[in-house]
């Protein structure tokens, strides 16, 4: 287990975590570490286990098996003290509708030992949130900004974001993400950012984890995720073979995706070292550019394909 630069334990440790709801096995051996000061992007398809993981970190539910540790402490043994060290922004915000931002701050300051009244006022001003207007009339984006203001005013050591920018307009998203980035850089706050918006992850994360079927299938940097992943495409105007030449494909460590449409055929390969050159390009194939979202989808598809083949 790697420690942070100050010699402390990781902010988050999940080790072989299992969670079942009735007959549905949601998490099955989920393992990951988040170091102090990181902005950790947590990616996965709907139903992959992201929301359940967040609930475990917040102490809303408990693991059936495995370790859930925050700041080196088992969350089940000291929930309230740990919760006071966490800032949390959910996808849907639920405030007392009659409360204004000002009233909300007065209510919450007694719950958090490090509550910073001045910081809260600065954040409300930055987001142009009206102090005395009831939260019931706030838009979804305004409520998300209010939730982030509350979370950061508590001076958290760990900021947990659960799909916070869903439904925001582009300007509001940029403001939200800029503040998260600043908080990490200036205050050293650890951020665990769960989202399906790949662009958000790409813009602020220092490391990412991908969960699929309740397991971690990737944990590392964005650069390492894309390294060695290449998409080859050939158009239907060519009399193309069923796939790339076998002797070329065998140099790859994995075939992530193989797709065909009336217009073209695409094959996405993962290579362990340098990408070989030559043969396919000479036969009409070309290298097709890939976005981070394309790579994410290919990695998840490759994991699913490998699992299905292993089940046969």
CA neighbours closer than 13 Å in the CB half-sphere of residue 306: 13
* Residue 311 confidence (pLDDT): 45
What is the pLDDT averaged over residues 258-274? Answer: 84
Q: How confident is the model at residue 7 (pLDDT cuts 50, 70, 90)?
A: very low
Nearest to 29 by CA among 19, 21, 44: 19
State the chain's mean pLDDT as an integer. Answer: 85
Report the pLDDT value the prediction gives residue 307, as an integer from 0 to 100: 52
* Structure confidence at residue 296 (pLDDT): 86
Structure token digits, residue 30 = 């989920």
Backbone angles phi, psi at 249, to 5 degrees: -60, -35
CATH 3.40.50.300 fits 12-221, yes or no: yes
What gap in Å lies between CA 114 and CA 102, rounded to an integer?
A: 18
Percent of the chain that is helix, strand, coil (3-state, to 5): 35, 25, 40
Write out the two tokens for 18.
Answer: 């299992």
Q: Are 228 and 59 in contact (CB under 8 A)?
A: no
Helix and strand totals (H; E) in the chain? 11, 14
pLDDT score for 36: 93
Q: Maximum Cα–Cα distance for the chain, whole Å? A: 72
| 294 or 308, which is more confident | 294
Q: Is the pLDDT of residue 97 over 50?
A: yes
254 three-state secondary structure? strand
- pLDDT (average), residues 36-44: 92
By CB atoms closer than 10 A (0-12, 13-18, 19+), residue 176 is buried
What's the CA gap between 84 and 86, in Å, rounded? Answer: 6
Determine the average pLDDT of the residues in 131-137.
Answer: 92
Which is nearest to 286 in space by CA: 255, 227, 244, 247?
244
For the stretch 168-184, pLDDT in tens is 788 888 888 888 888 88
By percentage, how much of the chain surpasses pLDDT 90?
39
Res 26: pLDDT: 94
Three-class DSSP category at 278: coil
Predicted confidence at residue 237, as pLDDT, reads 63
Confidence of residue 54 (pLDDT cuts 50, 70, 90): very high
Phi, psi (deg, nearest 5) at residue 64: -75, -30
Neighbours of 199 (CB within 10 A): 13
Q: Is 229 left (phi over 0), alpha (psi -120 to 50) or beta?
A: beta
Of 32-36, 74-78, 153-157, minimum mean pLDDT range: 74-78
Report pLDDT for 243. Answer: 61
Range of lowest pLDDT (66-70, 91-95, 116-120): 91-95
pTM: 0.84
Model confidence at 1: pLDDT above 50: no
Domain range annotation of the chain: 12-221, 227-311
**What does the buried/exposed string (b/e) look like for 122-153 if buried means 16 or more CB atoms within 10 Å of the residue's CB?**
ebbeebebeeeeebeebeebbbbbbbbbbbbb
Q: Is residue 312 pLDDT above 60, yes or no?
A: no
Per-residue model confidence (pLDDT) at position 197: 79
Instruction: Please state, in angstroms and rounded to a whole number, the distance separating the CA atoms of residues 205 and 89.
Output: 17
Q: According to the model, what pLDDT value does residue 40 have?
A: 95
- pLDDT score at 192: 96
pLDDT for res 154: 93
**Residue 226: pLDDT above 90?**
no
pLDDT for residue 238? 57
Mean pLDDT of 255-273: 85
73-83 residue pLDDT tens: 998 888 888 98
Distance in angstroms (rounded) separating the CA atoms of residues 89 and 156: 12
Residue 155, Cβ density class (10 Å: 0-12 exposed, 13-18 middle, ≥19 buried): middle
Range 231-256 average pLDDT? 75
Identify the pLDDT of residue 190.
94
Q: For residue 242, what pLDDT is reported?
A: 59
């Amino acid at each position: 287990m790697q420690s942070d630069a100050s010699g402390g334990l990781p902010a988050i440790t999940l080790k072989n975590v299992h969670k079942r709801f009735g007959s549905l096995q949601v998490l099955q051996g989920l393992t990951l570490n988040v170091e102090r000061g990181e902005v950790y992007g947590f990616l996965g398809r709907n139903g992959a286990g992201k929301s359940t993981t967040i609930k475990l970190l917040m102490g809303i539910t408990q693991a059936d098996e495995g370790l859930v540790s925050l700041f080196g402490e088992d969350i089940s043994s000291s929930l309230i003290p740990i919760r006071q060290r966490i800032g949390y922004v959910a996808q849907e915000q639920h405030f007392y509708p009659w409360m204004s931002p000002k009233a909300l701050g007065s209510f919450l300051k007694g719950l958090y030992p490090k509550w910073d009244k001045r910081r809260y006022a600065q954040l409300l001003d930055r987001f142009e949130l009206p102090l005395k207007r009831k939260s019931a009339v706030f838009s979804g984006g305004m409520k998300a900004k209010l939730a982030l203001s509350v979370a950061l005013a508590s001076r958290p050591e760990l900021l947990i974001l659960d799909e916070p920018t869903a439904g925001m307009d582009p300007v509001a998203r940029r403001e939200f993400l800029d503040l998260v980035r600043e908080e990490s850089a200036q205050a050293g706050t650890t951020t665990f950012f769960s989202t399906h918006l790949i662009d958000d992850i790409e813009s602020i994360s220092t490391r990412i984890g991908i969960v699929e079927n309740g397991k971690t299938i990737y944990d590392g940097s964005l650069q390492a995720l894309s390294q060695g992943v290449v998409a080859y495409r050939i158009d239907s105007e060519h009399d193309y073979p069923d796939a790339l030449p076998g002797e070329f494909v065998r140099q790859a460590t994995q075939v992530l995706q193989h797709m065909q449409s009336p217009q073209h055929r695409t094959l996405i390969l993962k290579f362990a070292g340098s990408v070989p050159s030559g043969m396919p390009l000479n036969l009409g194939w070309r290298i097709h550019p890939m976005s981070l979202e394309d790579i994410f989808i290919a990695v998840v598809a490759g994991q699913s394909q490998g699992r299905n083949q292993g089940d046969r």
